[in-house]
Amino acid sequence: MKNIGIWLDSKYALIVRLNENGDSLKKIESGVEFFNRTSTSGSRVKWGGTQDITHEKKYLEKEKQQFKTYFKEVAHAVADCDALALFGPADINEKLKKELEENYPTIGKKIVAVEKVDSMTDNQTRALIRDFFNNR
């Protein structure tokens, strides 16, 4: 049985594959560029014109496409799983779950858990995922 756990945030995903010999770790960088709206127009007094709104829409659309590409890369990396657990801070793991269920239904059906977990080291992530599947 191929159990896979993913810890992800908006910067990278750590994919831990469990097997009889232990586990393996793969890191996927997101490549998402974040839009810093305060740096586009100088002081806050000047901010708020229509030009800023146009730029913000462009950046938000670009960010949305970058997340789709990121999630697609993660989906292809876990396509052969039998059980999938998603971990991460904020709501990024919920977004990935929704993307997998809508656009990759064969993978989306294999999601067994979605849990909020703060940032951890690589070894802590491995231990979390090992413990999760061992205690299931």
pLDDT tens for 57-111 read 888 888 889 999 999 999 999 999 999 999 999 899 999 999 999 999 999 999 9
pLDDT in tens, 23-52: 999 999 998 887 665 555 555 555 555 555
Domains of the chain: 3-29+63-135 (3.30.420.60)
pTM: 0.82
Neighbours of 22 (CB within 10 A): 9
Which two structure tokens, joined as six digits, stand for 2? 């191929």
Whole-number mean pLDDT of the chain? Answer: 87
At residue 55, the pLDDT reads 73
Residues forming a β-bridge with 4: 17, 84
> What is the rounded distance in angstroms from the CA atom of residue 52 to the CA atom of residue 3?
46
